[in-house]
Amino acid sequence: MSDAPENSQQPDPDRSPPSAPPRPAADPNAEPFSEPAEPQLVEPEPSSEAPAGLAPSPGLEPPTGIQPPADLPPPQGYAPPQGYAPPQGYAPPQGYQAPPQGYEAPPQGYDAPPQGYEAPPQGYAPPGPQAPQRRGGLPTGAIIGIVAGAVVLLLLLVGGVFGIGSLISRGASEPLSPQTGSGAATPSAAVEEFLHALADGDAATASALAGGTSSDRLLSAEVLAESNALAPISNIEVTADADPRGDYDVLVSATFDVGEQTVQRDFRVWETYEDGWELSDGLMYLSLSGFDGLGLTVNGVDPDEDHATIFPGAYRLELGEDAFRLDSDDDVFVLASDDDLMTMYELRPALTEDATETFRSLVRASLEECLAMTALTTPCGLDVSEELSDGSVPVPDTAQRTLTAEGDATLKTLEPTSSYDTPSLVSTHDFIRIATSIEADLNGERLSGELLFGGDLRRPYVDFADEQPVVVWE
């Protein structure tokens, strides 16, 4: 009995497999066989034409019962375009009135008049300001005023025309003639007038030509007179041809003497619209901050500021503090160019010979007080309170400090130096050698000897602005 299902197909060993259908004989004249090409799909172009075979749509009929309005009025503000004519057979809605001839539609956004508004009667005009009633002709003053005003207006028009023409025709290098102020007509004239004003002692004109102000204390006639007394300005020669640096800026060369010193320099001159040509570097700026608190005067005048504006000329600098002098062989300086100002930066206050000896004596006396102390620290420094390099600990009140021969010679020739921030405060950079001996404890053993490197000596300072100067070690 077989376990296979009744409907299952089993191969018959006695049957041969079915043969494939016979293939037709190859045609020797046929082309070689190739795979068929895939068809190319082309997307149709959009068109309003109905597809082939499809009739066009007849359109949708309006629903039954809806009728178009017969008397729909146009929107508010609507006006038919020029030349518009209604279609043949058109009739306006019942009750419509055509606008009057010449009517223009109101602008967009126009609000209709409120309900109940009544138009004004034909010929109505709004009231305006009433002119005063004339009583005869114009008074004589009014006639004169009208005539004078017309003349002024005519002059303004003529002047404006000629003014514009002159501005257009004037070249960029041609100077403006000064209308007001103290400027000069040409660059060379500005420099020449400036130098001659200095030589003549005319401080007001020189200051105006160089842009000075009334707050500049050293631009006074008093200071300029003293300058001319110390070293007068003479032999002024100004180059006529200016070297242009722009439309409103030129260089003018000049040569002049200040006392026995000949000065040759360029002045930068610029053109103002109203005041003509002025010097932009005719004045010089002198730094005086290194003399604060020392009563400095310049040509007998207190500058009252750290930076002073001065004319080219000669200046005597004097200090009101008796303990100080200028660190210079002379106290009169010719200042006429920037090179002269550079030397002033090196000018410093210095102690007089008597004040220098006072400084040395004060320092020696204060130092000797410190040397007499046996404490591990003193006001002068020379401290040995810390553990020494070998581990030994200094014993209190065992310090012995001695001024060496080298240190004594230094004290005799101490060179005092004025502080830049506080000129009256004087110190020194000289090194004063001190020998220091100490007793120390090393693991219970008492040791004594001279220190190879003792504590540092502080710097001494003395303020000579004090009534009783004292030494402070810092």
- Please name the residues in contact with 201: beta carbons below 8 A apart, sequence gap of 6 or more: 221, 224, 225, 228
| Over residues 282-310, mean pLDDT | 93
Distance CA 41, CA 231 (A): 110
pTM for the model? 0.58
Q: Name, in order, each residue with C-beta under 8 angstroms of 347's C-beta and a sequence gap of 6 or more.
A: 290, 317, 326, 327, 328
> What amino acid occupies position 323?
A
* Structural domains of the chain sorted by starting position, each given as residue range(s) with its CATH number in brackets: 187-351 (3.10.450), 353-473 (no CATH)
Residue 85 identity (one-letter amino acid): A
Q: What is the pLDDT of residue 351?
A: 97
Q: Give 215-270 pLDDT, tens digit per residue.
A: 999 999 999 999 999 999 999 999 877 777 766 689 999 999 999 999 999 999 99
Q: Which two tokens stand for residue 282?
A: 């005719």
Q: For residues 368-378, b (16+ Cβ closer than 10 Å) or e, as one string?
A: eebbeeeebeb
Sort strands 445-450 and 297-298 into parallel, antiparallel or unpaired.
Answer: unpaired
Query: If pLDDT is split at 50, 70 and 90, which confidence band does 148 have?
Result: very low
For the ranges 54-68, 190-204, 385-399, the lowest mean pLDDT is seen at: 54-68
Out of 2-11, 197-206, 353-362, which region has the weakest mean confidence (pLDDT)? 2-11
Residue with the larger pLDDT of the pair 177 and 182: 182
For 67, the token pair is: 């009728």
Count the Cβ atoms, other than its own, within 10 Å of residue 118: 6
Within the chain, what is the greatest distance between any pair of CA atoms? 158
**pLDDT range class, residue 364, cuts 50, 70, 90:** very high
Contact 438, 448 (CB under 8 A): yes
Structure tokens at 247: 């439309």
Segment 428-442 mean pLDDT: 94
Does the structure show a pLDDT above 90 at 353? yes
User: Could you tell me the pLDDT band of residue 142, with boundaries at 50, 70 and 90?
Assistant: very low
**Mean pLDDT of the 91-109 span:** 58
Q: Quick one: tokens of 121?
A: 């009667």
Mean pLDDT of 316-331: 95
How far is Cα of residue 348 from the mean position of the Cα atoms in its chain? 34
Q: How far is CA 367 from CA 23, 71, 234, 351, 460, in A?
A: 136, 124, 57, 21, 9
Task: Kindly state the tokens that stand for 289.
Answer: 């901050």
Confirm if 433 and 407 have CB atoms less than 8 A apart: yes
Residue 282 and residue 210 in contact, taking contact as beta carbons nearer than 8 Å: yes
pLDDT grade, residue 455 (50/70/90)? Answer: confident
Which pLDDT does position 181 carry in this prediction?
45
Mean local confidence (pLDDT), 357-381 = 96
DSSP state of 139: -
Tokens 């003349």 found at: 151
Sheet strands side by side (includes 297-298): 297-298, 313-318, 332-335
270/278 Cα distance (integer angstroms): 6
pLDDT at 156: 34
Predicted confidence band of residue 130 (pLDDT cuts 50, 70, 90): very low
Q: Name the pLDDT band for 15 (thresholds 50, 70, 90).
A: very low
pLDDT score of 359: 98
- Looking at the predicted structure, is the pLDDT value of residue 139 above 80? no
Whether 327 shows a pLDDT value over 50: the answer reads yes
Report residue 465's pLDDT band, with 50, 70 and 90 as the boundaries.
very high
Question: Is 336 in contact with 362 (CB distance < 8 Å)?
Answer: no
Q: Rounded to whole angstroms, how far apart are CA atoms 211 and 232?
A: 22
pLDDT surpasses 90 at 19: no
